[in-house]
Chains A and B, each alone.
Chain A
Amino acid sequence: MRISVDRTKCTGLGICESIAPDIFEIDDSGDLVLLREEVTAEQRALVEQAIEGCPTFALKWAQ
């Protein structure tokens, strides 16, 4: 499973980093970086939480 970030919506609020810091991080310029492209089965629930918890609706599963 891969995560897709809509860069036109993401403003770097960082809720995703708060939920899953092994996967998401806000870099020094304030932008979201994905620390890994592929998500393991164990990480899926956390990513689901991050998708739901994103206040700008910028995250989803890649098709």
Chain B
Amino acid sequence: MNRLVIVGASLAGLRAAESARRTGFDGTITLIGAESHLPYDRPPLSKAYLDDTEPEIPFYRGRGELAELNIDLRLGRSATGLDTSARTVEIGDDTVEYDALVIATGASARTLPGAERLAGVHTLRTLDDARAVRAALDAGARTVVIGAGFIGSEVASAARKRGLPVTILEALPTPLVRAVGPAMGTACAALHAANGTELRCDTAVSALEGNGSVERVRLSDGTAIGADLVVVGVGADPNTDWLNGSGLTVDNGIVCDATLAAAPGVYAAGDVARWHNPAFDRLMRLEHWTSAQEQGALAARNALDPANAQPYSAIPYFWSDWYDSRIQFAGIPAGTEFELFGSVGAGRLLALYGDGERLVGALALNRQPDIMKLRALIAKRTPWAAALDFAADRAAAWPVAVSRGFAGVRSGSC
């Protein structure tokens, strides 16, 4: 085992390289990244990087610190093919041989038809995207965000922090249903109204219009909204096109077993990996910082020592910062039971999700002291009734008295 190749130079790929070296691997590591930038951290791009202060580019390591890892770093190069029999990765006309391969090619932001024709229309996934969005905010743009997901909501927050007008357009009747369920989608949406962002649900976009630069967003009812900046936040697709013909199973990501193995010698990590998560006994593909970094590290260890490969069992976790509020979610929003403590109006809430027997998910709004304790309860497969007791005890100790149950929260509208 002399040659480790890692395709993808974002968080999962970098962690794979770091973890390989930490375990004592002294062979060659080739790290291939499609972007020309040194590896950088993505969460700040839709948060602090957009603030009205001197921007700090969130590189993980400087060039010197990267050199300490002794890796063959190939940036600005996209892998174009994989041959799992010959154990080679193609990068255009170049071929790189591997003994162990970690694929961490991530995901790409979805866009809208015609978006590329107009200046001022951006996704927010890469550093280049963030620079463009930031520059538009610096210029005082009237902003329209398409898609009321987490990225779009963070962009809206950044615009409002600068006092700029912003409208969010959401095609579905309720935002964030897949991520947090209908009741909490509605509850989170209330943060937009409270902070001066106009959120329009059930609203379809028919065209982006302008002459060179975007000038307005045309809606399906014929009306239009003026815009200098349009941010398209309608999700991301895993970067798997280059794997056509490779023999790997690709179905909304690279399908992997519990050890992140996709084929002999081939492991996947991060947004591109759809692996069997033993914690929920199902295939999952997560676009979360925490799983990317953990999977990257484990995928490299497993790739270099497949005989002792360890499973990746995880309770999903993500966070999002909206205005002055922090939303944290652990587990999965699916379930037959739901209970709520607190409210958006009270400035804090906990929502619990059950599957009929046990706690499977938890959302916290401005309750950082509680969320990781609930995450631990999910991992321990805590029965629903015991989880409710725990949350009730926690909520009783909050500095303000809060209600329990659905008062004021209805699903199906925003």
Contact = CB atoms under 8 A, between A and B. Distances in A.
Contacts of B369: 25-28, 30
Q: Which of B293, B297, B372 has the most CB of A within 10 A?
A: B372
B173 interface: no
Contacts of B371: 14
B317 interface: yes
A41 B373 CA distance: 25
Interface string B39-59: 000010000000000000000
B372 A17 contact: yes
Interface string B11-40: 000010000000000000000000000000
Contacts of A17: 372-373
Contacts of A12: 368
Interface majority SS on A: helix, strand, loop or mixed? loop
Interface residues of A, number: 16
Contacts of B293: 52-53
B129 interface: no
Given A53-B290, A55-B290, A13 B15 contact: no
Given A13-B319, A21-B376, A53 B294 contact: yes
A18 interface: yes
Given A52-B297, A53-B293, A18 B15 contact: no
B328 interface: yes
Interface majority SS on B: helix, strand, loop or mixed? helix
Nearest to A18: B372
A30 B365 CA distance: 12
B289 interface: yes
A55 B288 CA distance: 11
A5 B319 CA distance: 20
Interface in A4-24: 11-15, 17-18, 21
Nearest to B319: A13
Contacts of B326: 11
Contact of B317 (A15, A27, A52): A15
Nearest to B315: A18
A52 to B, nearest CB: 7
Interface string B267-295: 00000000000000000000001100110
B375 interface: yes
B297 A55 contact: no
A13 B294 contact: no
A55 B372 contact: no
9 contacts: A14-B371, A15-B290, A15-B372, A26-B368, A28-B397, A28-B399, A53-B293, A53-B294, A55-B289
Interface of B: 15, 43, 289-290, 293-294, 297, 317, 319, 326, 328, 366, 368-369, 371-373, 375-376, 397, 399
Given A14-B371, A15-B317, A53-B293, 4 more contacts: A18-B317, A18-B375, A28-B397, A53-B290
- 9 closest cross-chain pairs (CB), A and B: A14-B372, A18-B372, A30-B368, A17-B372, A12-B368, A26-B369, A26-B368, A55-B289, A28-B369
